Amino acid sequence: MNVNSRTAEKIAKGFIWVIALTVIAVLIFIIAFILYRGLSVINWEFLTSVPRRSGRIGGIASPIVGTLSVTVLAVMIAMPFGVGTAFYLAEYTRGGIVTRIIRFCTESLAGIPSIIYGLFGFIFFVDVLGLDWSILSGGLTVAIMILPTLIRTSEEAIRSVPKTYREVSYSLGGTKWQTIRKAVVPSAIRGISNGLILSVGRCVAETAALIMTAGDELVMPRSVMDSSRTMAVHFYTLVMEGLSERNAYGTAAVLIILVFLINVVANAMINRFVAKGR
């Protein structure tokens, strides 16, 4: 080990530390700013009353319910399809032309703006299937929208499981299914759940597609067939229509806290799962 490589090592290390700390600082600033302006708005009444006068006054109870139901619905629909497809791509096909076409399709669709999914959802779910503007239409649309991300991240996680794991399982006489369940899933679960959390994030955050499918209703929804505004849509409307900056900050703060809670719960669940799997 000569002096040069040691200096290079030090410089590189220092450089990476600086960048990482800067990123943390910027990220903390973004979150802190929204929370600082928003937390003072949040109180029990803000959380439990429905918006009034287009959101100028009143709370955000119905957008909260709308957000949660759309997200739960979308993830429940998308998860089996997305993760299943990822397993099929990673374990059952051998990099043939079909796999490549599928991957191609999913990657291209990952970049299509959500508004196009929204338009598709509007014409297909809202109109043709007659589901009207509803939480169900919104959930189905967003479910399709998050599929590419879900497939890509899950597939990557499955592929990054070392080959040796599978070989050991096969050499012990395990079937393909047993190998997947006992050898692949436990080590891929962290990556898969990372993808899931990303997808949940996209659902919670989606604006454009949901305006066109879940609708814009401020009244509390009573079933999945009712229309409801989600928090992101509500926030966007408050900001862009200039209705109430105060309530906009409040909504954004609740959104951030919600995303935080989702992450905490998801992580706790993953950790338990990983611990049990081993």
Partner 1 sequence: MKKKFWKKFRDRLSGRIFFILALSTISALVVITVFIFVSGMPLIAEVGLFSFIFGMNWSPSQGQFGILPMIVGTVSVTLGAALIGIPVGICCSIFMAEFAPAKMQVIFRPAIQLLAGIPSVVYGFWGMIFIVPAISSNLGGLGMSILAGSIILGIMILPTIISISEVSIIALPRHYKEGALALGMTHWQTILRVQLPAAKSGIVAGVILGIGRAVGETMVVIMVLGNAVAMPESILDSVRTLTTNIGLEMGYASGAHQQALFATGIVLFVIIMILNITAQYITRKKVKK
Partner 2 sequence: MKRLILILIIMLSLGLLSACADSGASGEKTTRVVVAGSTSVKPYVDILMEEYRFLYPHNSVSVQGGGSSAGVRAVRSGIAEIGMLSRALTADEQDLWSVEIALDGLAIIIHPDNLVNNLTIEQVRGIYTRSITNWSEVGGHDAKIHIISREEGSGTRSAFQDLVMADEFISQRAVVQNSNGAVRQLVSGNRDTIGFISLGLAEHQPGMRDVKALMLDGVAPTQENVLNGSYGLYRAFLFISAQEPTGAVRHFIDYILSDSGQEILMVEGLISVSGRISE
Within residues 130-149, the interface with partner 1 by CB under 8 A covers 144, 147-149
Q: Nearest Cα to 169, choosing from 179, 158, 159? A: 179
Distance CA 143, CA 203 (A): 8
Applying CB under 8 A, which of residues 42, 65, 146, 151 lies at the interface with partner 1?
Answer: 151
DSSP code of residue 242: T
Are 215 and 228 spatial neighbours (Cβ–Cβ below 8 Å)? yes
Residue 274 within binding range of partner 1, rule CB under 8 A: no
Q: Which is nearer to partner 1, 6 or 56 (CB)?
A: 6
CA distances from 96 to 102, 109, 257 (A): 10, 20, 44
Interacting residues with partner 1 between 220 and 259 (CB under 8 A): 231-232, 235-236, 239-240, 248, 252, 255-256, 259
> How far from the centroid of its chain's Cα atoms is residue 185's Cα?
20
Residue 32 token pair: 């802190």
3-state per-residue secondary structure call for 163-193:
HHHHHHHHHCCCCHHHHHHHHHHHHHHHHHH
Question: At closest approach, how far in Å is the CB of 187 from partner 1?
Answer: 8
Residue 160 within binding range of partner 1, rule CB under 8 A: yes
Residue 108 within binding range of partner 1, rule CB under 8 A: yes
Interacting residues with partner 2 between 87 and 116 (CB under 8 A): none
Q: Which is nearer to partner 2, 148 or 215 (CB)?
A: 215
Q: Helices then strands (H, E): number in the chain? A: 12, 2
Neighbours of 45 (CB within 10 A): 10
Q: Which is nearer to partner 1, 171 or 223 (CB)?
A: 171
Look at residue 144 and give the partner it binds from partner 1, partner 2, none, a contact being a CB closer than 5 to 8 Å depending on partner kind: partner 1
Q: Which is nearer to partner 1, 107 or 223 (CB)?
A: 107
Interacting residues with partner 2 between 144 and 203 (CB under 8 A): none
Binding residues vs partner 2 (CB under 8 A):
52-54, 72-73, 76, 122, 126-127, 132-133, 136, 211-212, 215-219, 222-227, 237, 239-246, 272-273, 276
